[in-house]
Amino acid sequence: MTKAQDTDDAEDFCRICGYDEERFWEHSVPRSAICPCCGTESGIGDMGEPTWEGLTGIREYRGHWVGNGAQWRSPTLRPKGWDLLKHIANIPPEWR
Ligand SMILES: [Zn+2]
């Protein structure tokens, strides 16, 4: 199945940082996938609701990650010329 055929493309993105090479959620169930970029495990660090109040935890986690230099958990996977602002622009709008 390609991404274009998915019913919920937002599940292919890390809710914290926007990394998109992993499936973090499946049918609204976390897959316990650990993001190689920000290190968040789906179902642990990214729980919340896409509402202003419900995003508080996600925004705190993201802010902490960025505030500490947006370090990659798996630095070897970091693309050459990686751009933080382009990366976080991948965060699905409802999780920003
Ligand atoms: Zn991430």
| Domain parsing of the chain, residue ranges | 8-95
Q: State in Å: Cα 79 to ligand 1 middle.
A: 14
Q: State in Å: Cα 7 to ligand 1 middle.
A: 21
Q: State in Å: Cα 11 to ligand 1 middle.
A: 12
Q: What DSSP assignment string belongs to 6-53?
A: -S-GGGGS-TTT---SS--EETTEE--PBPTTT-PBTTTTS---SSTT
pLDDT tens for the chain, 96 residues: list them.
444 444 477 899 999 999 999 999 999 999 999 999 999 999 999 999 999 999 999 999 999 999 999 999 999 999 999 999 999 999 999 999
Q: State in Å: Cα 92 to ligand 1 middle.
A: 12
Taking the C-alpha atoms of residue 6 and residue 26, their distance in angstroms, rounded to an integer, is 10
